[in-house]
């Protein structure tokens, strides 16, 4: 089973006391599922929390990861591959309608899908489980 993780440390002002708030944010794959998490702690007061969930990360976490690590691009290795396993994998993994999956598959076949490296590893694993050959590359920002 594939595992991947990516994180970044962010600082901001604590809403409780005005001190420095440090947040560790990230995405990871665990037991075949895509997860995101945040741990926050103020350096000056007891304000602290931890939050985790499955599925796509909130946009602020995604943007922090993309800013720090850059985007990754997922490509079909064989442009002539059958669309059926691609559509099945995308619908299953992304919980998409058939129309949404077709649009995403068209992007995958033409220019590739772009996201965080963890998101692309997660999609690649699901596609490979359906015998679809894909590659992941760094994507210019």
pLDDT at 4: 86
Same structural domain for residues 13 and 63? yes
Same structural domain for residues 63 and 83? no
Same structural domain for residues 47 and 18? yes
Q: How many domains, the chain?
A: 2
pLDDT at 73: 96
Q: Which of 88, 99, 85, 100 is nearest to 131 (CA)?
A: 85
pLDDT at 141: 53
pLDDT at 102: 94
Inter-CA distances, 68 with 26, 101, 114, Å = 11, 29, 15
Judged against a pLDDT cut of 90, whether residue 9 lies above it is answered with: yes
Task: Answer with the one of 69, 89, 110 that is the final residue of a domain.
Answer: 69
Task: Answer with the one of 69, 89, 107 that is the final residue of a domain.
Answer: 69
Name the residue with higher pLDDT: 36 or 140. 36
At residue 81 the predicted structure's pLDDT band, cuts being 50, 70 and 90, is: confident
The 10s digit of each residue's pLDDT in 15-64 is 999 999 999 999 999 988 999 999 999 999 999 999 999 988 999 999 99
Q: What is the rounded average pLDDT for all residues in the chain? A: 92
Task: Answer with the one of 37, 69, 101 that is the final residue of a domain.
Answer: 69
Sign of the alpha-carbon torsion through 112, 62, 89, 84: negative
End-to-end CA distance of the chain: 29
Residue holding tokens 């590739």?
112
Mean predicted confidence (pLDDT) in 101-126 = 94
List the domain range (segments joined by +) for residue 34: 4-69
pTM: 0.88
């Amino acid at each position: 089973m594939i595992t991947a993780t990516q994180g970044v440390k962010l600082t901001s002002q604590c809403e409780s006391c005005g001190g420095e708030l440090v947040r560790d944010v990230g995405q990871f794959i665990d037991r075949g599922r895509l997860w995101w998490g945040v741990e926050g702690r103020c350096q000056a007061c007891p304000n602290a929390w931890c939050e985790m969930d499955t599925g796509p990360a909130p946009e602020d976490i995604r943007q922090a990861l993309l800013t720090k690590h850059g985007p990754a691009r997922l490509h079909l290795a064989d442009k002539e591959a059958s669309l059926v396993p691609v559509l099945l994998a995308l619908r299953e993994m992304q919980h998409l309608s058939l129309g949404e999956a077709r649009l995403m598959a068209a992007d995958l076949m033409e220019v590739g899908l772009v996201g965080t490296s963890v998101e692309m590893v997660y999609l690649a694993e699901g596609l490979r489980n359906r015998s679809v050959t894909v590659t992941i590359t760094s994507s210019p920002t």
